[in-house]
Amino acid sequence: MHQTQKSFEITDKVLEQVNRYTVEPLEAKDIYCFSLTLCDNDIDRDCERFSLSALKELAVMFCGKSGIFDHDPKGMNQTARIFDTAVAKVEGRLTLDGQPYYALTAKAYMVRTAANADLIKEIAGGIKKEVSVSCSVAKQLCSICGADRAKSACAHVKGKRYGEKLCFVTLSEPTDAYEWSFVAVPAQPKAGVTKHYESRREDRNIVTKLKAELGETNRRLSAAAEFVKGEILRLSYFCKPFYTAQEVAAMTEEMDMHRLIELHKQLSKRISRHSRELDEEERSFITQPQQQEENDEYTI
């Protein structure tokens, strides 16, 4: 798993790499170095995976990025910085869908201080920590239909099986890497890499626009529902048994548009059947005496 961070020897080459990111050159005794896995191409618990090309692009983007240890809110300066990254194939390991497994690993350094001595001990001791990465991606491809869900949604549900195929989303074309962090999760056996990503700004604009449209549609729909409820109340006065306004309100309160329309249809039908019955009663009332008269004539 990804939780184990390994410290390694600080060679001259490592020191040179680190010092590319420092204002003042640091010495080996000043720093603590460790390696970690940032992310991989396996399908994660959100049923998402990074593509191999995304891992390679993220490897470049995460160089020089600072990470925070957010298990300790007091540790304001508990940061580490990535100075080297690599994408490596792990021999003999396959992803959930049987592809060769690749991981994006990073080397990070911390400047030793009195405040982070305990934290360094924890890392050196291999305490389990979850690595969380934050980045933006331009493409989110559905494994079933190939639709780019960053642009428009498809009907498939992540984690659901369609026949033999599992629906998952492949994240590719990263546009930016923001930060990474460690969260201590000693009690969580399945802890691994988590990621937070967001779509490009254009996509966020689409989401904002769609939300506004959805709000407008909802307003129209509730106005229409109020109208239908009024019509139902009007029809209910002609029904047998007669419904009170409170009864109608209680009946229609939780109904969605489909059920409201259905109820409206039923009441209309009931009323037209009732008025037909009334018409027939009326007609038989008018015709009855005539027949009797005729009969009377015959009896005479």
Site residues (vs Zn ion, CB under 5 A)? 142, 144-145, 147, 154, 156
* 152 vs 266 by CB, closer to Zn ion: 152
Tokens of 247: 């009864």
* 47 vs 147 by CB, closer to Zn ion: 147
Alpha-carbon distance of 5 to 107, in angstroms, equals: 10
What is the signed CA dihedral for 231, 232, 238, 242, rounded to 10 degrees? -150
> Pick from 213, 214, 212, 177: which is nearest to 196 by CA?
177
* 37 vs 170 by CB, closer to Zn ion: 170
Nearest distance in Å: CB 48, Zn ion: 13
Nearest distance in Å: CB 156, Zn ion: 3
The answer to whether residues 83 and 64 touch, using CB atoms and an 8 Å cutoff, is: yes
Nearest distance in Å: CB 169, Zn ion: 9
**H-type alpha helices, 176-256:** 201-236, 245-252
Alpha-carbon distance of 114 to 90, in angstroms, equals: 37
* 59 vs 142 by CB, closer to Zn ion: 142
Nearest distance in Å: CB 199, Zn ion: 17
Nearest distance in Å: CB 177, Zn ion: 27
Q: Could you identify the residue written with the tokens 């020191």?
A: 15
* 61 vs 166 by CB, closer to Zn ion: 166
* φ/ψ of residue 185, rounded to 5: -135, 60
Q: Residue 293: CB partners within 8 Å, gap ≥ 6?
A: none
